[in-house]
């Protein structure tokens, strides 16, 4: 086991990668090369346009440098000395980064072999301690992430202390590619995007729409059972609403251009909360009415730059599974505990059992009464403790308008996904002057909590596709069984079986094509159909089907009634 952290190993690997690039492409100019959660990257500006074949050359040069066990050495320089070195080397990007370093801060340069880098460290002692490295991909990146700045070339890589760790990681990458919801969405005919419609706007196909309908139905039923009421609100609102909420002041870059209606500017909504507040304010509220748990599957629109759009995981139009809890200060602790319990129960119902909360606390700049902040944080901490979960604290990571809990779930291959958010808001109740009449006859400001459970239906669906690798469990699958007649003679019988199964509430299709039975079985398996019901002369005569499971293969000849009972049992047990 290495005595260095994986972050230190990866930071050192980025340094060695830059050294290799300098050796192969001497005119290269350097920006930054940090370690990341999965590896590292470095940004370069050079005349040579990198292609995938270059990664092997750079990786070979890195291994050469690693095998030499070159020491990492550090020098402390004055700002003037650092500027002189960088100007002599015409490293203008590094000069700008140098200007970001506070006056009183230490300025360090690390060297390894012939390469020297402005860097705060730390690094391994020598290059031989880096372990196993792999360069993954090439991408473009604007300097400082701003479109008006030069476009740099970014190389992504990863590094581990042991070769076995790298091997396991690369296997996970391959498995992630196999599960990629964008690929499976096309293969399984679930959804698509169209340039004629616009990037980031999802077209739901029948099969995908059915799965969405299924989990929407569960979502609504469970919300009603747990004391929520459903709301519906418009897709657009007048500019005055967004001025009051602060969106036009702080969020305008993510909103679409206004449309003029009756001489008023209207905006498509980026969030649902101002509409819910307007419903709350439609009449005077009493403490006797609280708590209110209002939920909505509300479609919102946000301008996301084209470079960050990513299948269903990052889109421009999406349905947020919103809820707002409005309650008295005395009720807040019980409400937070309940909303956390409810959120966990929904995720577990869909097969996610590894769930971790992250508590984001008060930042330096915040609005709202400090006493309310303290009470809110206590409510969040106690809710996590009551749920028996280990919580990671993000000190100062809360929004300016309130602390929050984020839930992250692990999927079938160990990836962590940011999902549920339980967010206090001390800003909007004040901006909209939300009040209720207390038992003292006076008006008081309620506590307000935003809660997005799935985050968005689109993102949740993308996560589900990858969780199940497209092989949805029987209860969720849009097509639970497919009947495969061997020849044209069995087609009428196949349709009779189909009608009987559909009458029992099952989702069944017939494949009447003249293809061979082998081809039909192969195609059905590729489409992740769980039950394949083969029908030949014998089965037609006996009123049965030869049943195959996508996983278990031959299950034998079964009556239609037994097939129906088996699938219904799978559905009931959420198999």
Does residue 391 have an active-site annotation?
no
Taken in order 10, 14, 15, 17, the sign of the CA dihedral is: positive
User: What is the DSSP track for 269-289?
Assistant: -S-SHHHHHHHHTTS--BGGG
Question: CA–CA distance from 390 to each of 359, 384, 402 (Å)?
Answer: 10, 8, 21
Does residue 322 have an active-site annotation?
yes
Cβ pair 172, 191 in contact under 8 A: no
Question: CA–CA distance from 319 to each of 213, 217, 239, 342 (Å)?
Answer: 13, 14, 21, 20
Residue 188: other Cβ atoms inside 10 A: 22
Residue 314 backbone phi and psi in degrees, to 5: -145, 105
Helix intervals (H) in 134-205: 163-179, 181-187
The helix or strand, by DSSP H or E, that contains position 459, with its residue range, turns out to be helix 457-467
The token duo for 457 is: 């239906």
Out of 112, 273, 327, 498, pick the active-site residue.
273
Question: CA–CA distance from 367 to each of 376, 399, 424, 426, 571 (Å)?
Answer: 13, 9, 11, 7, 49
Cβ pair 490, 540 in contact under 8 A: yes
Q: b/e for 487-518, b at 16 or more Cβ within 10 A?
A: eeebbebbeebbeebeeeebbbbbbbeeeebe
Out of 450, 451, 482, 566, pick the active-site residue.
450
What distance lies between CA 430 and its chain's CA centroid? 31
* Nearest residue to 218 (alpha-carbon basis) of 321, 108, 360, 103: 321
Out of 207, 223, 302, 507, pick the active-site residue.
302
Out of 11, 276, 293, 324, pick the active-site residue.
324
Out of 31, 43, 321, 322, pick the active-site residue.
322
96: helix, strand or coil: helix
Does residue 404 have an active-site annotation?
yes
Cβ pair 321, 355 in contact under 8 A: no
Does residue 324 have an active-site annotation?
yes
Out of 22, 129, 153, 320, pick the active-site residue.
320
* Nearest residue to 516 (alpha-carbon basis) of 487, 547, 483: 487
Does residue 320 have an active-site annotation?
yes
* Nearest residue to 207 (alpha-carbon basis) of 184, 179, 178: 184
Cβ pair 398, 361 in contact under 8 A: yes
Residue 29 pairs in a beta bridge with: 45
* Nearest residue to 29 (alpha-carbon basis) of 151, 127, 172, 146: 151
Give the C-alpha separation, 533 to 508, whole Å.
10
The token duo for 21 is: 């690039």
Cβ pair 256, 227 in contact under 8 A: no
Our CA angle for 54, 57, 60, nearest 5°, is 150
Out of 11, 404, 459, 507, pick the active-site residue.
404
The token duo for 526 is: 């590729």
- Active-site residue list: 273, 302, 320, 322, 324, 404, 450
């Amino acid at each position: 086991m290495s005595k260095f952290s994986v972050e230190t190993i990866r930071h050192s690997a980025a340094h060695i990668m830059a050294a290799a690039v300098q050796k192969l492409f001497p005119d290269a100019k350097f920006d930054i090369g940090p370690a990341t959660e999965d590896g590292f990257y470095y940004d370069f500006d050079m005349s040579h346009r990198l292609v995938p074949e270059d990664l092997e050359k750079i990786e070979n040069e890195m291994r050469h440098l690693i095998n030499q066990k070159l020491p990492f050495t550090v020098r402390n320089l004055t700002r003037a000395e650092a500027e002189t070195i960088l100007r002599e080397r015409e490293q203008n990007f590094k000069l700008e980064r140098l200007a970001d370093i506070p006056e009183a801060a230490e300025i360090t340069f690390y060297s390894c072999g012939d390469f020297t880098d402005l860097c705060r460290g730390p690094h391994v002692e020598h290059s031989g301690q880096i372990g196993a490295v792999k360069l993954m991909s090439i991408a473009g990146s604007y300097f400082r992430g701003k479109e008006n700045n030069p476009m740099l070339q970014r190389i992504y890589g990863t590094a581990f202390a042991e070769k076995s760790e790298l091997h396991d990681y690369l296997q996970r990458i391959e498995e992630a590619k196999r599960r990629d919801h964008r690929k499976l969405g096309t293969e399984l005919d679930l959804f698509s995007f169209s340039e004629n419609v616009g990037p980031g706007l999802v077209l739901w196909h029948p099969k995908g729409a059915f799965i969405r309908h299924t989990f929407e139905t569960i979502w609504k039923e469970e919300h009603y059972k747990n004391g929520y009421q459903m709301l519906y609100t418009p897709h657009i609102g007048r500019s005055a609403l967004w001025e009051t909420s602060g969106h036009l002041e702080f969020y305008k870059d993510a909103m679409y251009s206004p449309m003029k209606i009756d001489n008023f500017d209207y905006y498509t909504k980026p969030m649902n909360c101002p509409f819910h507040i307007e419903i709350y304010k439609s009449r005077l509220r009493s403490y006797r009415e609280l708590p209110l748990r209002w939920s909505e599957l509300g479609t919102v629109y946000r301008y996301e730059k084209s470079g960050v759009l990513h299948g269903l995981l990052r889109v421009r139009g999406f349905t947020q599974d919103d809820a707002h809890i409005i309650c008295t200060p005395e009720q807040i602790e019980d409400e937070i505990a309940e909303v956390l319990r409810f959120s966990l129960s929904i995720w577990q119902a869909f097969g996610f059992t590894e769930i971790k909360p992250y508590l984001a606390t008060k930042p330096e700049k915040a609005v709202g009464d400090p006493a309310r902040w303290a009470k809110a944080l206590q409510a969040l901490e106690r809710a996590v403790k009551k749920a028996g979960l280990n919580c990671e604290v993000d000190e100062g990571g809360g929004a300016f308008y309130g602390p929050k809990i984020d839930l992250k779930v692990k999927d079938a291959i160990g990836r962590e996904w940011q999902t549920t958010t339980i967010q206090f808001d001390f800003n909007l109740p004040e901006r909209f002057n939300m009040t209720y009449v207390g038992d003292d006859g006076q008006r008081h400001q309620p506590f307000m909590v935003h809660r997005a459970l799935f985050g968005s239906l689109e993102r949740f669906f993308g996560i589900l596709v990858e969780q199940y690798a497209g092989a949805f469990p029987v209860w969720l699958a849009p097509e639970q069984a497919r009947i495969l007649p061997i020849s044209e003679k069995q087609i009428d019988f196949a349709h009779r079986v189909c009608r009987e199964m559909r009458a029992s509430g099952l989702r069944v299709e017939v494949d009447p094509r003249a293809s061979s039975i082998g081809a039909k079985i192969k195609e059905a398996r590729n489409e992740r159909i769980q039950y394949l019901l083969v029908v030949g002369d014998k089965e037609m005569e006996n009123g049965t089907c030869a049943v195959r499971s996508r996983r278990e293969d031959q299950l034998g000849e079964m009556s239609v009634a037994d097939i129906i009972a088996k699938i219904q049992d799978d559905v009931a047990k959420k198999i």
